Structure 1
Amino acid sequence: MLRSLLCCFAFYAVASNVAAGEISIGNDSGTQVFTLRQGTTVVKFSPGAGANAYSIRVDDVEYLRQPESLDKLPGVGFGNPVLYPTPNRVKGAAFEFGGKTVRFQPNAGGNFIHGLVNRHAWQFVRSSSDSTHAAITCAADFGDGTALHSQFPFPHQLYLTVTVREGAVRWTYKVDNTGGTAAVPFGFALHPYFVYQGRRENTYLKIPATHWMESDKQLPSGELVPKDQLDYPLGEFMSLEGTRFDDVFWGMKPDQPTVIDYRDVNRKITIAASEAFTHLVVWTPDRPYFGVESQTCSTDAHNLHAAGKTREAHLQICQPGQTLSGWVEYRFGE
């Protein structure tokens, strides 16, 4: 009964904002969709399909890869999936922490990839809007007895708020371990599928990292290679033509954002993030889209941490009674 009342209240709260033209609810292929609008910036967001903000349109230009139908949205393939608690690969689909061995079902050869929440049906928590923003908050429950806890046995709550402002979209996460009795080891990341605007050769990317992480089959060794030892201009704008990145970069700082420059059409995306986001994964396959993934930790961070490479891994650890949070923001302009 309480759950029903809460759901009714949630729907009423959202519906009350529809009159302002800022938040509305729809349904596509059986998937509930929240549309958040602020000026010419429109985001479509589906909590039930992995909390994926799968469409970002600014001035009527779409920036993310779209599925043919929303029944294909859950998982990692379209829009901007959330990667948690293990961004990208976990070597051998297992890690040890705090005396526990955690094993996942391998889904990338013998490894595990992209975490647990991108197919999870997140729960709506609240919405808000005014003359400057529209926002939705949802939650993924890792409490005792939940399906998520059975795969990642560290009881806690994960909250995600997507906030839309004119020309900007922000994701804010909060890991809540205030009721827990054990530390929660995690990483948080976004996996956007940016589509090219114009020609690939005239799409430029600036990665303001200080180091590249040496890796074998997309699994970092923990060895950091300074940018002056690389054969491409890390930290400067470079064309994505001819690149085949699937790499982890280290040394990101809040005052040095990543920038995508679509020079054919005079558009830019500036990717800013809070200080927790020390790593960036760049993926440039031979396809009409590419990835620039802001991460709070390295790929395979749990195993690197266990091997003593704590600085390189930057595994986030939320202690009992604690909350940890951070944010990523995409800013769209010329």
Structure 2
Amino acid sequence: MSFSISATQNQYITYILSDESALSRLEVVPERGGMIARWSIEGQDVFYLDEERFANPELTVRGGVPILFPICGDLPDNVYVYDNKAYHLKQHGLARNFPWEVIEQSTDSSCKLTLSLKSNEETLKMYPFDFELRLMYELQGKNLKIYQEYINKSDKVMPFSFGLHPYFLVKDKEQMVLDIPASSYQVKDTKEIIPFDGSFDFREEEIDVALKSLKRPSASIQDRARGLKVNLKWSDEYSTMVFWTLKGKEYVCFEPWSAPRNAISTGESLTELEPGATCEAMVEIDVTSV
């Protein structure tokens, strides 16, 4: 049997999903916001991880795949108004800051690990809705699927956006080839719309742009220096892809968001879920050698 799931007690309990035939190994840390911390294939890391930040529960993680809900990006002054009341939500929302619970696992024809996060007294102070989030990580060979369910357990329509924030390890960005099906992007700070020719200037201190109106629900990042190509696919619920990196850091983030930043206030591409209803979405990451 090439599929296995084990749990080990590090600083946090870590679930290790392994496909031994492909030498593919995924580490999931439910206590640290339900996130994937690491994924290695044949000994090569797919994701970047800042170990110091990961070890400090006071800091948000830079690395792995943090989960974004009920907002993506930041809000002006970290505030939004619902039903004439102001609520405070920090960047990317609350899901990545709470411990998740493992509710199911199987190793029949792949490794499947399902996690759940339910609203509680603390979340209700920031976001006044009863909800349950479920994420299932499925590992098979060099393929990872992340299935998501967003369940409205309140008696009112629940507005939100959601996303994932993968940090892909790239040691030499000049050796990277991007295939992103967009013709323009919007710069975060200036809001300027700039034509996209398929590449960025990595001499800039920071690149933080949103790509919308994508021609197809897939993209790829080829790392010629390491001989890896990461292919991404996403379901129709995602409207926006954000590309973010900092100069001198060995990562690029390519983030599927269901809506752009501040959607909870502007309404742009916002999901508004009826009571008792479920919104489902999926992101797939496939790694090949080049």
With normalisation by structure 1, the TM-score equals: 0.78
Counterpart contact for 1:204–1:239, Cα < 8 Å:
no
Larger helix percent: 1
Report the CA distance between 1:326 and its aligned residue.
0.2
Partner of 1:104: 88
Partner of 1:155: 130
Report the CA distance between 1:169 and its aligned residue.
1.1
| 1:52 partnered with 2:26 | no
| 1:242 partnered with 2:203 | yes
Root-mean-square deviation (CA, aligned residues, Å) is 2.2
1:209 corresponds to which of 136, 161, 182: 182
Counterpart contact for 1:90–1:299, Cα < 8 Å:
yes
| 1:319 partnered with 2:281 | no
Q: Distance in 2 between matches of 1:256 and 1:184?
A: 26
Summarize the Cα distance change of 1:100–1:134 in structure 2 as closer, same or farther, 3 Å threshold.
farther
| 1:93 partnered with 2:78 | yes
Paired AA for residue 104 in structure 2: R
Counterpart contact for 2:87–2:125, Cα < 8 Å:
no
Counterpart contact for 1:192–1:293, Cα < 8 Å:
yes
Q: Distance in 1 between matches of 2:273 and 2:183?
A: 26
* SS of residue paired to 2:138: strand
Partner of 1:82: 67
Which runs of 5 or more structure 2 residues have no equivalent in the other structure? none
Q: Distance in 1 between matches of 2:69 and 2:240?
A: 15
* SS of residue paired to 2:124: helix
Which runs of 5 or more structure 1 residues have no equivalent in the other structure? 1-18, 106-111, 306-312
1:66 corresponds to which of 39, 45, 49: 49
Aligned residues: percent identity? 20
Q: Distance in 2 between matches of 1:325 and 1:24?
A: 27
Question: Number of paired residues?
Answer: 283
| 1:260 partnered with 2:260 | no
* SS of residue paired to 2:123: helix
CA-to-aligned-CA distance 1:52-80 (integer Å, 9 cap, x gap): 10101112100212243653377231211
Report the CA distance between 1:271 and its aligned residue.
0.9
Counterpart contact for 1:137–1:160, Cα < 8 Å:
yes
1:136 corresponds to which of 96, 103, 113: 113
| 1:301 partnered with 2:263 | yes
Q: Distance in 2 between matches of 1:295 and 1:246?
A: 14
Paired AA for residue 194 in structure 1: F
Counterpart contact for 1:128–1:134, Cα < 8 Å:
yes
* SS of residue paired to 1:324: strand
Counterpart contact for 1:205–1:239, Cα < 8 Å:
no
Report the CA distance between 1:42 and its aligned residue.
0.9
5 Å-filtered alignment, 1:160-199, equals 160-177=135-152, 179-197=153-171, 199=172
Higher Rg: 1
Counterpart contact for 1:201–1:240, Cα < 8 Å:
no
Paired AA for residue 113 in structure 2: I
Counterpart contact for 2:232–2:283, Cα < 8 Å:
yes
Paired AA for residue 101 in structure 2: Q
1:125 corresponds to which of 82, 103, 119: 103
